[in-house]
Amino acid sequence: MNTVAVTPGGAEVKVKRSPLGRFSDVLYRRPNLYLLLLLVPPLLWFGSVYIASLLSLLWQGFYTFDDFTMLVDHTLTLSNYAQLFDAANFDIILRTLLMALSVTLFSALLAFPVAYYMARFASGRTKAFFYIAVMLPMWTSYIVKAYAWTLLLAKEGVSSWFINLLGLDAVLQFLLSVPGIGGNTLSTSNLGRFLVFTYIWLPFMILPVQAALERLPPSLIQASADLGGTPFKTFRHVIFPLAVPGIAAGSIFTFSLTLGDYIVPQLVGPPGLFLGTMVYVQQGSIGNMPMAAAFTLVPIVLIAVYLAIVKRLGAFDAL
C-alpha cells in the first residue's frame, strides 16, 4: 500500500514504504490488533502451560488409586477429596494453616518498622544499603539457607551459644517446654521451624509494605497532625490503613509460600507432615497421584478463602 501525501502546493506525492514500515503503519492505525499481537504469546503460555496443566492436575484428583496394586485407575471418584477430611489428613491441613498464619502475622510485625524506616527516613546510601540487605538473602539458594539454619539452631549451634551468652537459657528452656511450639532443641521444635519460615519469607513482606508506604504523601501525615491527630492516631487512621494493601500483598506471599513449602518442614522442626511434604510423599514415595492432586487443591482453596476475607476487611479499598 502506498501512502498518498499532499504537499502544500497541492501535488500528490507517492511515499514509498518498506514492508516493515507498512506493517508498522497498520499496527499504528489498529491499536487493538497491536494489543492482540502483544498478548497472544503470554496468554497462550499462561493458558496452556499454567491453567490447563493445573486443571488436569486437579482432574487427576478424581481418579481412583488402587492400594493393592499401587496403580492409578481412571474410574472417577470423590473419595480422594473426601479423604482430605480424615482426621490424619485434616491435621496436616490445620498444622500447615496455623503455621502459615503465624508466619504471616509475625512477618508483618517485623517488616513494618523496617519498611517504614526505609520508606520515610532512609535516603541515598542508607536506603540502598537497606534494599541490598533485604534482598541479599534471596540471592542464595533457599535450600542452602534452610540447611544452614538446621546447624544454626542445633543444640551446639550458634543460636544456643548466643542465647547462653545473653544468659537467656532459662527463657529458651521455658519456650521449648511449651507444648505445641516446643521440642528438644530449637532445630526440632515448631518454634525453630517458625523462625526459619519467617526468616526466609520476610523480604517478601518488607518490599510490598515499603512500596505502599513510599506512595504515601508526607502531606497526609502532616494534615493529620495539623487537624489534631497525635502520632498514634495518625498511625491508626492514616498510615496503617494506607499501608494495608501493601501488607495484604506481602501476606499473600508469606501465606501461600508457607502453605506450599515442602523443604523447610523436612529440615527443621518436629516430625509430622505439612501440605507440601504430604504432596511430595504421596506423589514421590507412594505414587498415589490422585491423592497428591487432591492435596494440591487445599492451598488453592485456602488462599482463595484468605483473599476473600482480606478483601472483605477492606484491604484493597485504598488501592
Partner 1 sequence: MTTVVEFSSVSRHYGEVKAVDQVSLKIAEGEFFSMLGPSGSGKTTSLRMIAGFEQPSEGYVIIHGHDATGLPPYKRDVNTVFQDYALFPHMNVLENIAYGLMVKGVAKKERLSRAQEALDMVALGEYGLRKPAQLSGGQRQRIALARALVNRPKVLLLDEPLGALDLKLREQMQSELKTLQRQLGITFIFVTHDQTEALSMSDRVAVFNKGRIEQMGSPRDLYNKPQTAFVAEFIGSANVIKQPLVDTLGLQSGKTFALRPEYIDLNAVSEAVSGELNAKGVIRDIQYQGANTRYQVMLDSGEALNVSCANSFSAGNEGSGDVLTDGAEVNLSWRADAMVELRDVELRGENVNVDNAGA
**Considering beta carbons, is residue 69 or 219 the nearer one to partner 1?**
219
**Considering beta carbons, is residue 155 or 236 the nearer one to partner 1?**
236
Q: Decide if residue 230 touches partner 1 (CB under 8 A).
A: yes
Q: Which stretch binds partner 1 (CB under 8 A): 61-69, 77-85, 116-124, 213-221?
A: 213-221
Residues 242-281 binding partner 1 (CB under 8 A) are 242
265 in Cβ contact with 193 (< 8 Å): yes
Q: Decide if residue 69 touches partner 1 (CB under 8 A).
A: no
Q: Decide if residue 219 touches partner 1 (CB under 8 A).
A: yes
Choice from 30, 155, 233, 311 touching partner 1 (CB under 8 A)? 233
Residues 122-141 binding partner 1 (CB under 8 A) are none
Element (H, E) at 72: strand 71-73
- Shortest separation between residue 112's beta carbon and partner 1, angstroms: 18
Cβ within 8 Å of residue 216, ≥6 positions away: 119, 239, 242, 243
Choice from 222, 272, 286, 301 touching partner 1 (CB under 8 A)? 222
Q: Decide if residue 226 touches partner 1 (CB under 8 A).
A: yes
55 grid coordinates:
486443571
The whole-angstrom separation of Cα 260 and Cα 252 is 12
Q: Please, is 134 exposed, middle or buried when counting C-beta atoms within 10 Å of its C-beta (0-12, 13-18, 19+)?
A: buried
Choice from 17, 58, 229, 307 touching partner 1 (CB under 8 A)? 229
Closest to 298 measured CA to CA, from 148, 142, 116, 84: 84
- The residue length of the chain stands at 319
What sign does the CA torsion over 235, 237, 243, 248 have? positive
Binding site for partner 1 (CB under 8 A): 217, 219-220, 222-230, 233, 237-238, 241-242, 317-318
